Amino acid sequence: QVQLVESGGGLVQAGGSLRLSCTASGSIFRINAMGWYRQAPGKQRELVASSGGSTTYADSAKGRFTISRDNAKKTVYLQMNNLKPEDTAVYYCNANIQTRPWSSSQNDYWGQGTQVTVSS
């Protein structure tokens, strides 16, 4: 099985920074993409940033957040700067992972989520 374990959430004042980390483990043949989503209370889960063949950012994240990967460590990071109260949400790591050499073995996996709270 595959597990994604996140860390780095917390409480920060507006204008501050946080760095989220997510490490994949288990039966992994290849990691095709890794990314971050978030879900605020009463809202749908939304993409924040992803890193695969290309890098994608939500408009709200552009210029403030940076996604990066350490492939050797099977880890994805999200550096979040100039945080705003509207960034408050549970942040989820997502990864598209192949567990066998054939492409049909790929699936999307989710972490348990980490809370980010930005106070004004």
| First CA to last CA distance, the chain | 41
Alpha-carbon distance 65 to 57, whole Å? 8
- pLDDT tens for 38-94 read 999 999 999 999 999 899 999 999 999 999 999 999 999 999 999 999 999 999 999
pLDDT value of residue 53: 85
CA 116 – CA 40 distance, rounded (Å) = 10
CA 77 to chain centre: 7
Backbone phi and psi for residue 21, each to the nearest 5 degrees, phi listed first: -130, 150
